[in-house]
Structure 1
Amino acid sequence: MAAGASEERLAHLQAQVRKAARAMGRHGLVHAFGHVSARLNDTEFLVCAARPMGCLDADDQGTVVPVEGPLPQGVLGEVRLHQQIYKVRPDVGGICRILPARVIALSTMRLTPSARHGNGSYFAPHPPLWDDPQLVRDDDKAQAIAALLGGARAIVMRGNGAVVAGSSIEEAAGLSFLLEEAAALELTVRAAGGGQGGTLLSDAEASARAVSTGGIFERLWEFLTHGDPEQSGSDRANIR
């Protein structure tokens, strides 16, 4: 058991991580690759099993990973991204490493979704771009990406998907869906000739719109996990 994490909390997060992982696969935000995690405490987090996320079974246990130190055996190399973000962002409680098609398409033009509507407001004015298509398998590169992310909710890597950070694994999963929705709108506007001439949210509009009140992320979580084999009636109340 992880130090400082009760058996009940660890079991709860194991299930939430599996549900988030399957949700990413169910909604086309990952395929064979990608991973999600949830913070356990100041020094540890739980990452999903190293399998295609949509294929995770109820008995697939995640691995407890130290925020600082070598990755445990069997943990995927890019999980060091999670390490470095948790290290510098105490506000982050969940991370999704995703490969959404529309976000990737935009990134190959060195673009990320602009804040054009409500879904995009959470990433205003737009997510930062890591302009390198290579896998992130060393600590120096992971540290640089965490630094470029700064206080943002997501960072896009050119031709290599995105990393999304939320206050919880449930929020990170919801933000992952919203990021791909923002990318879909961006591509549609640009295909119609809108480009930078289209309407963008002002800083004030984006700040006012990017709220978590009113059950926004609770409803997103219910939508994303609908039909999951481990879904329970208490899921909405358990978002934290």
Structure 2
Amino acid sequence: MARALGQNGLSGPFGHCSVRLDDERFLVCAPRPMALIRAGEPGTVVDIAGELPPDVLGEVRIHQQLYRRRPGVGAICRFISPQITALAALGKTPRARHGFGSYFATGVPMWTGAALIRNDAAAEQAAALMAEQPALFLNVNGAVTAAATPERAVALAYFLEDAARVELAALSAGLADTGPVLAGDVAAERATWNGRIAERVWEFLLRNDPEPLAF
């Protein structure tokens, strides 16, 4: 997950990702630039309820809150990508204007605080704002995606960055208010995981990865 995000322009020096281990614990990647995390480099096991281990980044609190509130979530990406950052700087989130955007047709909430989420109160509020949505914009600090599997969480990050690119293009063309959007049953039908959608994104992003791919 970390290398898929870090080595494909979805996150630079900052960001983190995690996978649920069971009802009480999750594994978060090492606190390093995700592109540089080596094959086999250990992460840290974190309790879903309780204090963070001393070597874990403070923002991992939002992972705790999402796993606690959403038992169906099996993986989380926290990343800072260029198109999302640019769109958020305008106070905007993407609309469902193309296939990738359809996965966010019900909306992408915007956390308006500019400070990093490094305390329990803020993490609780951000998780509550995200609710059951697949993604959350963190103002000018990137975004979060959450899904049932690592492949889907990473695919959502890839889709969200592209949805931000398309939204910026609509704004640049002056057509953001009049251009068509996907909605309702049309968007729901398009936002499918059938046909190895997430797995193909995973394979593409990890095309040169040293570890063997497994599903």
Query: Offset at 1:231?
Result: 2.8
Query: Offset at 1:126?
Result: 2.5
Given candidates 145, 169, 179, the residue that maps to 2:150 is 169
Query: 1:191 aligns to what?
Result: 172
Count of residues in Structure 1 that have an aligned counterpart in Structure 2 = 215
Q: Tell whether 2:111 aligns with 1:125.
A: no
CA distance in structure 2 between the aligned counterparts of 1:140 and 1:96, rounded to whole angstroms: 20
CA-atom RMSD, angstroms?
Answer: 0.9
Query: Offset at 1:110?
Result: 1.2
Query: Offset at 1:125?
Result: 3.3
Query: Offset at 1:203?
Result: 1.7
Query: 1:5 aligns to what?
Result: none
SS in 1 for 2:46: strand
The answer (yes or no) to whether the contact 2:106–2:133 under 8 Å persists in 1 is: no
Aligned ranges 1:46-85 → 2 under 5 Å: 46-85=27-66
Query: 1:141 aligns to what?
Result: 122
Q: Tell whether 2:186 aligns with 1:205.
A: yes
Query: Offset at 1:197?
Result: 0.7
CA distance in structure 2 between the aligned counterparts of 1:227 and 1:86, rounded to whole angstroms: 30
Query: Offset at 1:124?
Result: 1.2
- Can you give the 5+ residue segments of structure 2 that lack an aligned partner in the other structure? none
CA deviations on 1:6-31 (whole Å, 9 max, x unpaired) are xxxxxxxxxxxxxx101111111111
The answer (yes or no) to whether the contact 2:83–2:164 under 8 Å persists in 1 is: yes
SS in 2 for 1:163: strand
The answer (yes or no) to whether the contact 1:225–1:231 under 8 Å persists in 2 is: no
CA deviations on 1:51-102 (whole Å, 9 max, x unpaired) are 1100011231010000000001200000001000000011100000010111
- Can you give the 5+ residue segments of structure 1 that lack an aligned partner in the other structure? 1-19
**Counterpart code for 2:170:** V
Query: 1:159 aligns to what?
Result: 140
**Counterpart code for 2:182:** L
Query: 2:87 aligns to what?
Result: 106
Report % sequence identity: 47
CA distance in structure 2 between the aligned counterparts of 1:196 and 1:125, rounded to whole angstroms: 17
**Counterpart code for 1:61:** P
Q: Tell whether 2:205 aligns with 1:224.
A: yes
**Counterpart code for 1:37:** S
The answer (yes or no) to whether the contact 1:121–1:201 under 8 Å persists in 2 is: yes
SS in 1 for 2:104: coil
CA distance in structure 1 between the aligned counterparts of 2:173 and 2:106, rounded to whole angstroms: 21
**Counterpart code for 2:2:** A
Given candidates 112, 115, 131, the residue that maps to 1:150 is 131
TM-score of the pair, normalised by structure 1: 0.88
The answer (yes or no) to whether the contact 2:107–2:133 under 8 Å persists in 1 is: no
The answer (yes or no) to whether the contact 1:31–1:52 under 8 Å persists in 2 is: yes
Query: 2:13 aligns to what?
Result: 32
TM-score of the pair, normalised by structure 2: 0.98
